[in-house]
Structure 1
Amino acid sequence: MANPIKIIGASLSQNVRKPLAVAHHLGLDVESVMAAPGDDTIKAANPSGRIPAMDDNGFHLSESVAIMIYLAGKAGNALYPEDVQTRALVNQWLFWDVAHWTPAYQPIQFERAIKPMLDMGDPDETVVAAALAKFEREATLLNAALDGKDWLGGGEPTLADFAAGAGLTYAAPMELPLDDYPNIKAWNGRVMGLEGFKKTAQGQ
């Protein structure tokens, strides 16, 4: 009998949450293994020491989006559609998440959410202000893309929603101006209501 798929990394990280939420959504046998960046547990699966890493019975993989795509391929599902154009649109959002969305919100997340959690001092609001300008540019794009749609890929959730949605894990402590983006705010509620996200909420 195969062992559970291990997703390795600090559970506070939204990048660890992405593949964990996908695995739970798909009903896969998955185990969350707590490890900080650079730990030997991580390096055994990902020599770079970065989180997350995956160990599927000896098959190792890193990078959250790559892990999500792998997990979606484990069984037939709609998270990574077979239709070539729909999949291309999902890929577009996955690449956007890595290249633009995550870099826009991460400095805010670190200053306003992570620093207080780790007792690292007060937020640097100069850093926050610079990042908010980038966040607002990307949020404007995302809000427009969601106009008239429940999900980024169309009629049902896809990996695009899991990737971009995980970025709003700490939206409240980050004090993100989601009221300015009603489509994002409503979509975020739908994302966080998915079973995979409910099962990966802190304390679960």
Structure 2
Amino acid sequence: MANPIKIIGVPFSQNVRKPLAVAHHLGLEVENPPLAPNDPSFKELHAAGRIPVLDDDGYRICESNAIMIYLCSKTKNDLYPEEAKARGLVNQFLFWDVAHWTPAYQPIQFERLVKGMLGLGETDEAVVEAALQRFAREAAYLEGALAGKSWLVGDGATLADFAAGAGLTHAAAMGLPLEDFPNIRAWNDRVQGLEGFKKTEVKM
């Protein structure tokens, strides 16, 4: 019998939650050793020293979206479509998530949540204000992409929704202005209601 897949990293992180939620959605057996990047043993897992790291019987990769794609290769599913055009759209959102969406909200999360958790000083409101402006631009794009739709690609949830939706894990605690984006609010309720997300919910 195969060993459970390990997705290593603190579950507070959206990037850890993404593949964990996918694994649960797919019904894969998974463990989550909650190591932080500053743990002395973490660098031994992967040279990049970033969470998460997947360990599948000694096969290791990092980068959350790459891990999600790998998990989808383990079993038949609709999260990562085989049809070329649908897959192209999913890939578009996966790259957008890394290049634009995550950099828009991460400074807000660091200033408003992480600093306080780690005792790193006061919130820099100038950084937050600049990040909120960037977040508003990217959220406007996402709002438009969801117009008249329940999910980002096709008629059901895909990796596009898992990637972008994980970014809103701490939306309330971060004070993200979702009231300005009704399509995102409705979609986020659907995403957070998926079984994989319910099983990986982190209470603040």
2: CA distance, partners of 1:44 / 1:2:
23
Please report how far the alpha carbon of residue 178 of structure 1 lies from its aligned counterpart in structure 2 after TM superposition: 0.3
Please report how far the alpha carbon of residue 30 of structure 1 lies from its aligned counterpart in structure 2 after TM superposition: 0.1
Q: How does 1:110-189 map to 2 (within 5 A)?
A: 110-189=110-189
Indicate the percent of aligned positions where both proteins have the same amino acid.
66
Q: How does 1:37-52 map to 2 (within 5 A)?
A: 37-52=37-52
Q: How does 1:1-204 map to 2 (within 5 A)?
A: 1-202=1-202
3-state SS of paired residue (1:33): coil
Please report how far the alpha carbon of residue 49 of structure 1 lies from its aligned counterpart in structure 2 after TM superposition: 1.0
**Contact residue 9 and residue 42 of structure 1 kept, 8 A:** no
**Contact residue 38 and residue 50 of structure 1 kept, 8 A:** no
| TM-score relative to the length of structure 2 | 0.96
Please report how far the alpha carbon of residue 120 of structure 1 lies from its aligned counterpart in structure 2 after TM superposition: 3.1
1: CA distance, partners of 2:145 / 2:10:
31
Aligned residues: 203
Distance 1:20 1:41, change over 3 A: farther
Distance 1:157 1:41, change over 3 A: farther
Please, what is the CA RMSD of the aligned residues? 1.1
Please report how far the alpha carbon of residue 45 of structure 1 lies from its aligned counterpart in structure 2 after TM superposition: 2.7
Gaps of 5+ in 2: none
Please report how far the alpha carbon of residue 40 of structure 1 lies from its aligned counterpart in structure 2 after TM superposition: 4.3
**Contact residue 45 and residue 61 of structure 1 kept, 8 A:** no
Runs of 4+ in structure 1 off by over 4 angstroms are: none
Please report how far the alpha carbon of residue 47 of structure 1 lies from its aligned counterpart in structure 2 after TM superposition: 1.3
**Contact residue 42 and residue 53 of structure 1 kept, 8 A:** no
